[in-house]
Amino acid sequence: MEHITLLLGIVIVTALVFDFTNGFHDTANAMATTISTGALKPKTAVAMSAVLNLVGAFLSVEVAKTISGGLINESGIRTEVIFAALVGAILWNLLTWLLGLPSSSSHALFGGLIGAAVMSAGWSSVNGSTVVTKVLLPAVAAPIVAGLAAMLATRLTYRISGRTDQRATAKGYRAGQIASAGLVSLAHGTNDAQKTMGIITLALVTGGVIAPGSNPPTWVIVSAGTAIALGTYLGGWRIIRTMGKGLTDLAPQQGFAAQTSAATAILASSHIGFSLSTTQVCSGAVMGSGLGRKGGVVRWSTATRMFVAWGLTLPAAGLAGAAAEFLTKQGTWGIVLTGALLVAGAGVIRTLSRRQPVTVDNVNDAAAEPAGIVTTAMAAVTPPPAGLVTGDLSGDLKTTIPSPDAEPTRPATV
């Protein structure tokens, strides 16, 4: 067994930096709806999510084994390839965070890894069947399944609570929403922290520190869980604003339905080793809950930008990873330059983000986005909820709309 070299140490640190960005990039998955409905205060929400992300990291290693031994062929892959993949994933994560788009940190990592591996050893280095069955298919199916489940759950909850006191029901659903948010956080730690564990384990294999096919060492599990928890506590307020306010307007019943559906999908996929995107699952569940409420609509302009980001994540991160690997192949100066470009890119993005900061104090202050054509049309044909018309308004209606029982005015006869 060899000792950890300087380059391998840099790769491990870079992987933990990615894990940190994954944490604050994906905080919205668990807590955006809880914060937007007022079930929890923002700081309390992210602290709770951070602790449960850490706990979730210790529940399974199936996803980690998929990445460390299934996505690419370990033989012939150099440690520099892992470094280049992480550079591409981190830059894409930071860019989408700046834009407030809930893109997939998981797919950013997969794209960076695939792009760097292809640049280093050609297409034969990628296990295409694993990419299709455990990455691409879940990416398409998971948000659809979670969205449909959330839509049905929302309709069911409104039907059940339709004859009960609305204030008491809202309190109960807020409590349920807190519990379901905790379950999503636990599921996120179980699924996403493992991806960094898998990357570090793959780096240790390429460096000859552990044997191929090994499970992540305990120190890798602890460090990955800690990094994602710290990132979660920092709070990705920009993406929380988009998920909580930008896609649809959520009531506690909808938040509970969305989070429960998302957590079920994530935990089930983690158990069988599907490395799906928790962001896509949670976003699909939020949209499904928006469509499940009578009179609720989805802001499709925001959703369209999000869909575009989802589609671009794998190829964009792959190109960035391939470019970084091209530099690292040039030798020591290429590795140093790649690291410098990563630091410079992160600095530029941070500077741009401070022009219009989104913080814990203004995360729920965003003005609603103007409704698009589809949203306006849906709202026009949807009847208002019961009780919305006030006495004054009904009086105005009576004076302008004749009663159906009234006889029509007849012309006077002379």
Q: What pLDDT is attached to residue 99?
A: 85
Sequence-ordered alpha helix ranges (H) in 42-104: 42-56, 62-69, 79-98
- Segment 24-49 shows an average pLDDT of 82
Share of the chain above pLDDT 90, in %: 16
Q: What pLDDT is attached to residue 317?
A: 92
- Segment 57-74 shows an average pLDDT of 69
CA dihedral of residues 330, 331, 332, 337 (deg, nearest 10): 10
Q: What pLDDT is attached to residue 92?
A: 92
Q: What pLDDT is attached to residue 168?
A: 66
The residues, any chain, with a CB within 8 Å of residue 161's CB and separated by 6 or more, are: 169, 173, 253
> Looking at 99-113, 176-190, 285-299, 364-378, which range is the least confident one?
364-378
Per-residue buried b or exposed e for 131-148, using 16+ beta carbons within 10 Å of the residue's own CB: beebbeebbeebbebbbb
Tell me which residue has tokens 């105005």: 396
> Looking at 233-237, 267-271, 287-291, 401-405, which range is the least confident one?
401-405
Q: Each residue of 246-289: pLDDT tens digit?
A: 777 777 778 888 888 887 887 777 666 666 677 888 888 888 88
Question: 228, 306, 282, 222: which is closest to 24 by C-alpha?
Answer: 228
Question: 220, 198, 178, 214: which is closest to 52 by C-alpha?
Answer: 178
pLDDT class of 28 with cuts at 50, 70, 90 = confident
Question: Across the chain, how many H-helices and E-strands are there?
Answer: 16, 0
Q: Is 104 helix (H, G, I), strand (E, B) or coil?
A: coil
Q: Each residue of 293-350: pLDDT tens digit?
A: 876 677 888 888 888 888 899 999 999 999 999 999 888 899 999 999 999 999 999 9
pLDDT class of 26 with cuts at 50, 70, 90 = confident
The letter for the amino acid at 218 is T
> Looking at 169-173, 348-352, 408-412, which range is the least confident one?
408-412
C-beta of residue 88 within 8 angstroms of C-beta of residue 9? no
Residue 79 has pLDDT above 60, yes or no: yes
CA dihedral of residues 85, 53, 346, 42 (deg, nearest 10): 150
Q: What pLDDT is attached to residue 90?
A: 94
Q: What pLDDT is attached to residue 402?
A: 47
Q: How many CA atoms lie within 13 A of 361 on its CB side?
A: 1
CA distances to 49, 130, 208 from 122, in Å: 40, 17, 22
Q: Which range has highest mean pLDDT (42-56, 120-134, 160-174, 276-290)?
A: 42-56
Q: How many CA atoms lie within 13 A of 374 on its CB side?
A: 10
Residue 399 has pLDDT above 60, yes or no: no
Residue 370 has pLDDT above 60, yes or no: no
C-beta of residue 74 within 8 angstroms of C-beta of residue 198? no
Q: What pLDDT is attached to residue 30?
A: 73
Residue 373 has pLDDT above 60, yes or no: no
pLDDT class of 67 with cuts at 50, 70, 90 = low
Residue 196 has pLDDT above 80, yes or no: yes
Q: Is the dihedral of CA 279, 284, 285, 290 positive or negative?
A: positive
Q: Which range has highest mean pLDDT (22-26, 91-95, 405-409)?
A: 91-95
pLDDT class of 395 with cuts at 50, 70, 90 = very low
Q: Report the chain's mean pLDDT, rounded to a whole number.
A: 78
CA distance linking residue 101 with residue 95, whole number of Å:
9
Who wins on pLDDT, 245 or 141? 141
Q: Each residue of 130-153: pLDDT tens digit?
A: 788 877 888 888 888 888 988 998
Q: What pLDDT is attached to residue 414?
A: 38
Share of the chain above pLDDT 70, in %: 79
